[in-house]
Amino acid sequence: MPEVKIGIALPVRELAILGNNDAAPLMKMTQQVEELGFDSVWVGDSFVARHRLEPLTLLAAMAMVTDRVTIGAAALTAVLREPLTLAHTIVTLDQLSGGRLVLAIGTGNPLPVQAEYDAVTMSYRERAGRVDEAVKAFKQVWHQRDGDLTGRYYDLSGLRLQSPPSQPGGPDLWLASNGKPGAVIRTSTLYDGWMPIKITPAEYRESLRAIREATRAAGRDPDAISTALYVTVNMNQDAAEAEAGLNDYTHTYNELPLTAMTPYQLYYGGAPEDFAAWLGEYAAAGARHFVLRIGSFVEYETQLHTIAEGVMPRVHEMTVD
C-alpha cells in the first residue's frame, strides 16, 4: 500500500437531499471507488438534522461488496448511540470486513443545528467525556486488559460478554477534531489517529508535533498514531468555476454560502494538479490519509474520475519522511 493514502466519502447525504434513499447506488459507488484504486471509502453521520441512511448499517453492506479498501465513518457521532450496542456493532463490522474497519469519531456538527439540539437532551459539554469513557472501555476489553468498566456515565461490564473483534485490539478509532489542546491530549492518551477538518498546513504540523510529544509522554508509540485530513473538493481547471460549484454545493447541503462554511471546514476548488500540490503541503506536515468529499450534486461521476486520474496518482507518488 502507498505510504500516503486517499479515500472517497460517499454522497449519502447528497442522494438523500435529491430524494434518493436507495442503498443500491451507494453499493455500486463503493465498488467503483475500490475498482478505481482508492485506498478507502467512507460514510458520514447525522442524528436527525441532516437526514441520510444509517452509517453503521451501510458499512456492513459496503464490507460485503468490497475486498480490499478500508471502510470507515467520517465522522461518527458515537456518543449519541448506546455504548454496549455500539461496541457490539463495531465488533461485528470488524468481523464482516475482515479487519478493514476504521471509525473517525466526532462529537457532532461543526455548526449549530437547532433541530438536532432540540432532539438530543444530552448536554453538548459532556459529549467528549462520555465518548472518551466509552472508547476507553472498548479498548480495555478489546486489548484483553483487566479492570473495572464502571465510569462516571456508564457501567460497561457487559462488554466482556461480547465477541472479540477481528483486529487484535479492535479497529482503529480516530479522533475527528481540530488541533486544540484538548484534542491533542485526547488523541495522545486514547485514540489511534487524528482527523481534522479545518486546519492550515502550519497548524497541522504544530498540532501533530504536540500530539506526538504527548503520546510519547503517555507511554505510547507516537508513530502508531494515524494522521488524516478531511476535505470537500470540486475539481475544475477554471478555479472560479470550481469555487462556484462549491458555493452551489454548500447552498444546497448546508443552506449556507461557501463563505459561511469556510471557517468550519476545508474546501478546495481548482485543477487536479494544483489540488495535489496543495495536499502535498499537508503531507509534508505529516498527513498520511486524505478523505475527500466531492462537493457537487450534479457531477459526482465526472469528479470521481478526475480525482482518480489527476489526483490519486500524485498522492500515491508523494515521498514523505
Half-sphere exposure of residue 199: CA atoms within 13 angstroms, side-chain side: 28
Q: What is the predicted pLDDT for the residue at 160?
A: 96
Instruction: Output the CA–CA distances (angstroms, integers) from residue 290 to 61, 75, 83, in the order listed.
Output: 23, 14, 28
- In the three-class reduction of DSSP (H, G, I as helix; E, B as strand; rest coil), residue 139 is classed as helix
**How far apart, in whole angstroms, are the C-alpha atoms of residue 243 and residue 274?**
14
Q: What is the predicted pLDDT for the residue at 113?
A: 55
**How far apart, in whole angstroms, are the C-alpha atoms of residue 210 and residue 286?**
12
Domain extent listing, the chain: 5-316
Q: Is the peptide bond before 75 cis (omega within 30 degrees of 0)?
A: yes
Q: Are strands 40-43 and 70-76 parallel, antiparallel or unpaired?
A: parallel
What confidence tens digit (pLDDT) does each residue in 224-271 have?
A: 999 999 999 999 999 999 999 999 999 999 899 999 999 999 999 999
- pTM for this one? 0.94
Grid cell digits, residue 249:
454545493
Mean pLDDT of all residues in 79-99: 96
Of the candidate CATH numbers 3.40.50.300, 3.90.420.10, 3.40.1190.20, 3.20.20.30, the domain formed by 5-316 belongs to 3.20.20.30
What confidence tens digit (pLDDT) does each residue in 155-210 have?
A: 999 999 999 999 999 999 999 998 888 999 999 999 999 999 999 999 999 999 99
Type of residue found at 42: W
